[in-house]
Amino acid sequence: MPDVFADLVGQDEAVAELRRAAGAAAAVLRAGAADRTPALIAAGPASEAAPETGDTEPGALDPSTGMTHAWIFTGPPGSGRSVAARAFAAALQCTYGTGCGECPGCHTTMGGTNADVRMVVPEGLSIGVGEMRALVLRAASTPSGGRWQVVVIEDADRLTEAAGNALLKAIEEPPPRTVFLLCAPSTHPDDISVTIRSRCRVVPLRQPPAAAVAEVLVRRDGIAPDVAQWAAAAAQGHVGRARRLARDPEARKRREAVLAVPRRLTGVGAAFDAASALIEAAEAEAEASVSEADATERAALETALGAGGTGRGAAGAMRGAAGQLKELEKRQKSRATRAQRDALDRALVDLAGFYRDALTMALRAPVDPVHTDTAALAGAGAQKWDAEGSLRRLEAVLACRAAIEANVKPRIAVEAMMLALWKG
């Protein structure tokens, strides 16, 4: 296995900072083994600079030291926030260095089996307070491997307010060997509360350049260079999406259907048809991605509950079982809604790329098109709409994304967008 940071594409600065921190963390462990008073404050000499939070009590952290208890990884979708967090977790558990990729600590963390690393991946639209309290409680236990308890929270922007408060308490008074790694699109208060933010060190990731994405597709996934280049450009810096496009014919078909939308908008009726088609395609894609997991979970729960049991106590057990099944259905519904929104958002990003191409062509800007395969079509659009009309259409797509993000019903937002795209 290569170095744990190998999959973090085009993020040299972040990787350097994380390696330094992992080195400082290892020094803390060594110092702790020597004098038996392990605390992260030992990571370096006290700094002259006043800490942001004004904390000086033992166990609290001076932000100038190499290691801290709480981190936020920010960046656009696909930039590798969770990849960075997982790699850093591995570097903290690494026995030999700062993420060698060879030792048991690296292996188990990257494979998802390290007992001291918990990855929280919200499946629904939010992370609730119950889940967070249980997590915080477990995170306070002594690491079984003798290093760090690491909690990675993907999509920390989906914390409910109560869950955020539970997390904040843990970050404010962190157990000495516990590290929280949060992932969020940005440090905007909409994404992460100001108080949590003030306790964390931020690692900003950038949108990786297409060339870097293509390089990793060729090197690691063995994809042909021309396909890799096309997919990297079409995915607009989203590494996972680029890989999917390069490998999965279904994903390519869905993308082609989306990019056929602009030339199908010939009237009001066609605009509503296109809206329906887009929504239904997103629903079908989401259904395909969650239905198997739904059925497996339900069967597992029914088995665990001993469905169909009779005799003394069975009636009471069945009442409890009904509650658990209901809870499961609620969770699955939330996951399905999220999968639909994610699928729809991917389609909207593709569509935005098309109008962005039209705009840059109308402006004769010297940049490469996002969608090389529909560049001719975007060029025709640029002639017909000019820069202003192209920009209005691009804005209509972005407004649709923002509306759905703000909980406008997707069908309504998409219909409004299609009408705007048709009328210009």
Cβ 150 to Zn ion shortest distance, Å: 14
Cβ 22 to Zn ion shortest distance, Å: 10
Cβ 4 to Zn ion shortest distance, Å: 7
For residue 344, state whether it binds Zn ion (rule: CB under 5 A).
no
C-alpha span between 153 and 180 (Å, rounded): 8
Output 103 or 380, the one with its CB closest to Zn ion. 103
Is 260 in a helix, a strand, or coil?
coil
Size of the site for Zn ion (CB under 5 A): 4
Is 116 in a helix, a strand, or coil?
coil
Strand spans (E) along 188-318: 201-204
Cβ 103 to Zn ion shortest distance, Å: 3
Cβ 3 to Zn ion shortest distance, Å: 9
| Binding flags for Zn ion, 377-406, as an x/- string (CB under 5 A) | ------------------------------
Strand spans (E) along 81-185: 117-120, 149-153, 178-184
| Binding flags for Zn ion, 96-135, as an x/- string (CB under 5 A) | ----x--x--x-----------------------------
Output 107 or 356, the one with its CB closest to Zn ion. 107
- The DSSP code sequence of 358-413 is HHHHHTT-S---S-GGGHHHHHHHHHHHHHHHHHHHHHHHHHHHHHHHTT--HHHH
**Residue 60: which residues within 8 A CB-CB, separation 6 or more?**
41, 51, 53
Cβ 219 to Zn ion shortest distance, Å: 21
Output 91 or 183, the one with its CB closest to Zn ion. 91
Span of 62-70, 92-100, 380-388, 415-423 interacting with Zn ion by CB under 5 A: 92-100
Span of 89-97, 145-153, 266-274, 394-402 interacting with Zn ion by CB under 5 A: 89-97
Residue in 241, 267, 265 with CA at minimum distance from that of residue 254:
241
Strand spans (E) along 208-360: none
The token pair that represents 113 in the structure block: 């089996």
From candidates 9, 94, 231, 397, binder to Zn ion by CB under 5 A:
94
Cβ 107 to Zn ion shortest distance, Å: 8
**Amino acid, single-letter form, for residue 419:** L
C-alpha span between 139 and 128 (Å, rounded): 17
DSSP 8-state assignment for residue 156: G
Output 79 or 114, the one with its CB closest to Zn ion. 114
Contact residues for Zn ion, defined by CB under 5 A: 94, 100, 103, 106
